[in-house]
Structures are given as structure tokens and as C-alpha cells.
Amino acid sequence: MAVATAAVAVRARADASDAAVLQFEAIYAAYAPLLRKIAVRKFGIPRGDAEALVHDVFATYLANPSNVRNLRPYLIGAICNAARQHLRRDATEKELFCNGPVCAATPEEELVDSVIRSITIRSTLAQLGPSCQETLRRFYLTGESAPTIAESRKTTANYILRLLNYCRNRARAIYVAMSQGGARDASPQ
Amino acid sequence: MPHLSENLIGRYALDPRLVHDIEAVEAHLRDCDVCRRSLEEIRQFDSDLAGGDAWGRTDHGLARFAAERAEEDAEAQELLAEFDDAPATTFVWADLPSNSDYYTGGVVRALSKRAHEMADRDPRYALELADAAISISRRLSEDDYPATALHEWRGEAWKEKAAALFCLGRFAETLQAVDCAEAEYNKLSHAGVGHVAVLYIRASVLYEQEDYEAAARLLDRSAAAALHLGEIDRYMAALHMLGSIHYDRRQFNTAATFFATILRFGEKNNSIVWIARERLTLGNCFIELGDLTVARQYLEAALLQFTTLRFDTEIVRTQKAIGRLLFSETKHVSAIQMLRRSVADFTRLQMPTDAAIAAVQLAEMLHATGRDRDIPHLLNGVVQAFTQAGKLTGALTALAYLKEAAVSGKLTNTLTSHVGRYLVRVDRQPALLFAPPPV
């Protein structure tokens, strides 16, 4: 009986853990790009430092998520405070909070559009086959050259470049269709 | 002029060497706006692909922390289950900080949360819980947890200690605990909800000490910071206290403006608790302002809502306000009956301070209607309730002083107001001594 109870408890903990990861990944995917862009574009924080600030904002949130009632304004307010604190270290900023009628971090339309674009491209990439995804990721994100990718795949650089062009064209077609609301027609069968 | 194919432009964008006749392609791009725009769009797309955001990178360290935290929370719930309905003494005797089984972030969070829930109901127990949370949080290491999380949890535990001490009226210690909470929060990379709470607790202490200007300054900052983080409830709580400051200063119009703002917020968000609470405070404001029709509308609506919510204490507080309203409407008999009922109900709910405050207001009504002889009996009942509740504070002296004044025919409205205000303060500051009003 006790063993069964313990097993149920272990299962419950594992379930809680899985659910927390899924929930966090959804939140991170939805807000991390926006927070990064706010730090970089609104406060002029270098990209590397902005990444660290975004990490800290999420780490603080995760330490006590029940303290937060309204996630979006909390995260935007927090990245604003974090950016100001970062700038304060350079003695250019004095206030602890972003006081004032309109928070400096409030994202305007252009910034929101750019975040929506990133999220749409992410959805687009998810619709590509694994080979295309992997090739594009290695070339664009990781920065590997076509010959390096070709070598690991035992093929020619020219083939990889043609594959990249094909995959990017495919992605663009899906992206354009999604942006125009016709995602279903463009998605692979 | 025929346009270049998208495939060709794409190859050119990727690597110009991929097209056969580079010069012809470049010449065409120079002359053709449409193809040049296509190239720009492709290059923008390439730039997006090179940015991390398009690939939805997850911070794996944070994801792991989220998983571990959730698992710890579930584990802490199991570990602390035995104390769920147990009396405070059981918790104290268990001496959690001496047992390493409890040295987890989950236990610290659970203890702080429980302290938060208990602060109003049983502040002594809340203090024990917060002390245990502080003690355990100090034993947690940066080898096991991110530094950010440790500072957040330690700050939270100190903040709950401050809240418990505040409810116990130990204001000097409250401020010390708030300092410790703030020191932890200051180690975070940004100001957050903890800083908002710290400002609010400091303001609450200043408010209780009747340093209204300093309290209002902190409340302004707390409200702005809460709003900035989207913490609307905390924002409203700060506004409510600002309204209360104006009410205590008898600036009823300004107070009503604050309470009306919160009422609108409550209505907009369909928050029945805020709506009912602000209707009660607005009712009280309009009694003082002499607009009795409006006061009645607010109070009757509040009574209906508190009855729906089954908030017993707020029902009695609203009934007491209606009693004051009736008195202002010169319906003295009904008013006195209503106040008598409030005193009895507060006593039944084991709220001797509220019973005493209602009794003092009733004494004022009895005095105004020439029924001073009823006052000693009324105050004897309240003193008895205080004694039975073990509240052997200066409140007993104040009530005795009031009773003596009634017996000797020296009762004045100034005296009843003075005693009423003292009763409110001594409830938060049990060590506060009673001094009669200056003659």
C-alpha cells in the first residue's frame, strides 16, 4: 500500500515537472523575443547583455511565479527595470522603477510587428521537413559554411547551396501564405 | 523587360557565384524596382533566419529550473501536509530548521506562502512560519539553486516576517525585517513585485504611526511601481490606503475620489470584492459629507454584495455604517438598535476591537439623545469581551475612562472620537498607552 502511495507521489511530481516545462517553454517562446527586442532597441543594451537580462527576468519570475498576476505587463515592466538597473551601473540612470505616465519599455507597433514576424517565421520553420530545418539552422543560425555542412553530409557544397535556396524559398512561400492568412494552403501535404 | 525568377534572385542572395551571368543579373537589379524589392525581401528573410528569435531557442537552464521548482513544490506539499490543519504549536515543536529533510527551496516557498495566508488570521503563527522560512533559506546554497532564486526566496521570507510583525503591532521590528527583505531584493538584477510590497509595508507602518505625509509618498511610489508591473491589485491596495489617509485627515471629498477610482476599477474588472469594499468606504465618506441619499445607495448595495459573498465581518461593518447613516437621518431609535446589533455581532464574531469601536460610536449616540445612563452597562459588556479575549491592553483603560466620563456627566464628542481612534491604534500596537485628550 505504502509503495503504491509512494509511486503515485513520484508520478504526481513527474507530471508537475513536465507540465511546468511545457508551460515555461510556451511562455518563453511567446515573450523572450519581445523582451530581447525591448532591451536592445528601446534601451540600447548590447545583444549579449540583453540576453543575460532576459534570462534574469525569467529566472526571477520562475522563482516565484505565483507572485505574478498579469504576465505580459509584469515581464515588460521587469525588463524595463532590469535595463534601467543595467544602465544605472554605467551611472546613466538613477530611478529604480520605470516611473512616469508611459513606461519607456512599452512596445510600439513597429516593435510588436517585428516580434510577430519572428514568431511567424518560427511557425513557418516548424512546417518544413527535418532536412530543410537542419540545413537552414546550421547555415543561418549556427553560421556553418556550405562546405562544412556538405562535408558532414558527405555531399558537395554546391548541392548544399541549392538545397538552402530550395528550403529558403519553401519557407518564404509558407511565410507569405501565413502572413496573408492562407497558412493551410501552403503547408506541406 | 521580363523579371528575374524568384529562384534566381534567391540564389544570387545566397551567393552571387551561384548565378551564371552575374553582371547581367546585377544590371537588371539596378534597373528593375520590382526585382530589387524582391532581393531586399529575401535578404530581410535571411537576416530573420540568422536571428535566434526565429528558431525559438529555449533556455534549457531555465526550463530545467522550472521543472525542478515544480517537483520541489509537489514534494514540499507532501512534506508539510502534516501541518495543514495542525495548531501552531505542532509546527513550532517540529522545529523544521533543525531537520535537513526540509532544506529545499520548495519548503521555503511553501512556508512563506502559508505565512502570507496566516498573517491576518494568526500573526503569531505566521511569524513562526516566516522565521522557519528565513532560517531554511539561509541554509540553501548557490551550488544547488540560482542566486536570483535564493535572493527572491529570502526576500519573500523576510517580507512575510515583516507582514506578521506588522499585524502584531511590532513596528520597529517590522521595519528591521523590511530592511532585510529589501537587502535581498536589491541583489536581484531588477526591481520587481518584492520592492512594491516592501514600499507598501513601510507605508503601512507610517500610516499606523499617523505619519501620513511620509506614508503617502511611499504609497505613491508603490502604486506607480505596481502599475508598471501590471500588479493591479497591489496598485489598488496602495490607492485604497491613500484614500484612507485622506479619510483620517477628514478630507472626505479627496478620499471619495480615490475610493471612486477603485470602485470603477472593480466594476471594469467585475471584481465583486473591490466593488463591495469601495461602496462601503464611499458610503462612509458621504455620511461625513452629509450627502445621505448617496451614502444610503452605496451602503445598501455594499450590504447586498457582502451578504452574497458571505463576508460576515464586512456585513456587520456595513450594518454599523447604516446605523450611523440612520442617526444622521435623525432616525435615532433605529440607529441605536442597529449599533447595538453591530456590537453584539462583532462580539459574537470574536472581534472585540470592532465591538468596542461600535460601542464607542453607540455611546456617542446615547449621549446625544440624553441616554447617558445606558452607557456604563454598554461599556461593561465590551470590557468583558476584551477580558475574555485576553486583550489586556490600554483599551481597557480607555473604555474605563469613557465609562467614568459618562457616569460623571463629562462625556463629550471629542472624548468619544479620541477613544475611538485610540482603540483602532492599540489594536495594531498593543503596547500603546492610553492618554486622555488634552483639555
Kindly state the cell numbers that stand for B434: 492610553
Q: Is the pLDDT of residue A189 over 50?
A: no
Exposed e or buried b for every residue in A107-134, given b needs 16+ CB within 10 A?
A: beeebeebbebbbbbbebbebbeeebbe
Going from the C-alpha of B429 to that of each of A129, A167, B252, the distances in angstroms are 69, 73, 26
Chain B residues within 8 A of A53 when measuring between CB atoms: 189-190
pLDDT, residue B437, reads 87
Closest C-alpha among B105, B245, B30 to residue A63: B105
The pTM for the full model equals 0.76
Q: What is the DSSP string of B80-139?
A: HGGGSSS-HHHHHHH-GGG-GGG-SHHHHHHHHHHHHHHTTT-HHHHHHHHHHHHHHHHH
CB B346 within 8 A of CB B358: yes
Please give, rounded to a whole number of angstroms, the shortest distance from the CA of B190 to a CA of chain A. 4
**A166 CA to chain B: closest CA distance, Å?**
8
Least confident of A1-10, B205-214, B251-260: A1-10
Distance of CA B260 to the CA centre of its chain: 18
Cβ-defined contacts of B47-50 (< 8 Å, 24+): B48/A117, B48/A118, B48/A121, B49/A121, B49/A136, B49/A140, B49/A141, B49/A168, B49/A171, B50/A140, B50/A141, B50/A143
Q: Is A70 helix (H, G, I), strand (E, B) or coil?
A: coil
- Distance between CA B98 and CA B203 in Å, rounded? 35
CB pair distance less than 8 Å for B189 and A56: yes
Q: Cell for B138? A: 539561509
What average pLDDT does the segment B306-323 reach?
92
Over range B390-402, report the average pLDDT.
Answer: 87
Closest in B54, B74, B233 to A12, CB measured? B74
- Chain B interface mutation, best of A124, A162, A165, A178, highest count of B Cβ atoms under 10 Å: A165
Is residue A180 predicted with pLDDT exceeding 90?
Answer: no
- The whole-number average pLDDT for the span B203-210 is 91
Split at pLDDT 50, 70, 90, the class of A102 is: low
Chain B residues whose beta carbon lies within 8 Å of the beta carbon of residue A71 = 230
Confidence of residue B429 (pLDDT cuts 50, 70, 90): confident
What is the C-alpha separation between B148 and A78, in angstroms, rounded?
Answer: 14
Residue B180 CA to residue B199 CA, distance in Å, equals: 13
Among residues 159-188 of chain A, which lie with CB inside 8 Å of chain B?
161-162, 164-165, 168-169, 171-172, 175
Task: Measure CB to CB from residue A17 to each of B70, B189, B225 and give the nearest one.
Answer: B70
Nearest CB partner across the interface for A59, out of B58, B148, B231: B148
Distant-in-sequence, close-in-space partners of B161: CB < 8 Å, separation ≥ 6: B115, B127, B130, B131, B134, B177, B180, B181
Cβ–Cβ contacts within 10 Å for residue A184, how many? 8
Gap from A91 CA to chain B (nearest CA, Å): 15
Q: Give the tens place of pLDDT for each residue, A28-38.
A: 988 998 898 89
Q: B58 vs A19: CB contact, 8 Å cut-off?
A: no
* Interface touch B148/A19, C-beta < 8 Å: no
Which residue of chain B has the CA closest to A35? B53
Asked whether this complex has an ipTM greater than 0.85, the answer is no
- Res A95: pLDDT: 57
B156 — contact with chain A (CB < 8 Å)?
A: yes
The reply to whether residue A60 touches residue B10, judged by beta carbons under 8 angstroms, is no
Of the pLDDT bands very low, low, confident and very high (cuts 50, 70, 90), residue B387 is: confident
Mean pLDDT in residue range B39-58:
81
Q: Distance of alpha carbon A43 from its chain centroid, rounded?
A: 19
Q: Is the pLDDT of residue A186 over 50?
A: no
Q: What phi, psi does B217 have (nearest 5°)? A: -60, -45
Q: Flag if B68 and A17 touch (Cβ within 8 Å).
A: yes
C-alpha torsion angle, residues B428, B429, B434, B439 (rounded to 10)? -70
The distance in angstroms from the start CA to the end CA of chain B is 103
pLDDT score for A2: 62
Q: Which residue has the cell 531584493?
A: B185
In order, the DSSP letters of B300-357 are HHHHHHHHHHT-HHHHHHHHHHHHHHHHHTT-HHHHHHHHHHHHHHHHHTT-HHHHHH
Amino acid sitting at position A8: V
Q: How far is B135 from chain A (nearest CA, A)?
A: 18
Answer whether B56 sits within 8 Å of A29, measured CB to CB: yes
Tell whether B8 is within 8 A of chain A (Cβ): no
Instruction: Say yes or no for a CB contact (<8 Å) between A62 and B189.
Output: no
CB A32 within 8 A of CB A59: no
- Per-residue pLDDT band at A188 (split at 50, 70, 90): very low
Interface of A with B in 26-85 (CB under 8 A): 28-29, 32-33, 36-37, 53, 55-60, 62-64, 66-74, 76-82, 84-85
Question: For A88-96, what is the mean pLDDT?
Answer: 59
SS3 B424: helix
A102 touches chain B (CB under 8 A): no
Question: Mean of the pLDDT values across residues B247-264?
Answer: 95
Q: Residue B51 carries which side chain, given as an amino acid letter?
A: G
Which of A63, A66, A161 has the CB atom closest to B18's CB atom? A161
Cβ distance B71 to A24 less than 8 Å, yes or no, reads: no
Q: Do A141 and B146 touch (CB under 8 A)?
A: no
| Gap between the Cα atoms of B85 and B153, Å rounded | 24
Sort out which chain B residues have CB atoms less than 8 A from A140's CB and list them.
46, 49-50
**A55: nearest CB among B55, B59, B66:** B59
Chain A residue numbers with beta carbons less than 8 Å from the beta carbon of B113 are: 66
* More confident call, A126 vs B336: B336
The length of chain A in residues reads 189
How far apart (Å, rounded) are the C-alpha atoms in residues A29 and A107?
Answer: 17
- Give the per-residue pLDDT at B20: 84
Residue A38 phi/psi, 5-degree rounding, is: -60, -45
Tens of pLDDT, residue by residue over B86-144, are: 888 888 888 899 999 999 999 999 999 999 988 877 888 999 999 999 999 999 999 99
Chain A nearest-CA residue for B156: A64
Interface test with A, best of B49, B187, B271 (most A CBs within 10 A): B49
Size of the A and B interface in Cβ pairs below 8 Å: 197
Rounded to 10 degrees, what is the CA torsion of B92, B166, B394, B210? 180
Nearest CA in chain B to A58: B62
Contacts of B158 in chain A (CB under 8 A): none
